[in-house]
Amino acid sequence: MTDRVLVLVRHGQSEWNLKNLFTGWRDVDLTEQGIKEARAAGVKLKAHGLTFDVAFTSALKRAQRTLDLMLAEMGQTKIPVIKDQALNERDYGDLSGLNKDDARKKWGEEQVHIWRRSYDVAPPGGESLKDTLARTLPYYVEHILPRVLRGERVLVAAHGNSLRALVMVLEKLTPETILKREIATGAPIIYRLNADSTVASQVDLAA
Give catalytic residue positions.
11, 89
CA-wise closest residue to 23 among 121, 127, 106, 119: 127
Alpha-carbon distance 181 to 79, whole Å?
30
DSSP 150: T
Maximum alpha-carbon separation in the chain: 56
Angle at 115 (CA atoms; ends 20, 125), nearest 5 degrees = 95
Strand residues in the chain grouped as ranges (E): 5-10, 54-57, 81-83, 154-158, 189-193, 199-204
Which residue in 144, 197, 163, 154 sits closest to 9, CA to CA? 163
How, if at all, do strands 54-57 and 154-158 pair? parallel
| Residues 6+ positions from 203 with CB-CB distance below 8 Å | 48, 189, 190
Q: Which of 28, 24, 26 is nearest to 126 (CA)?
A: 24
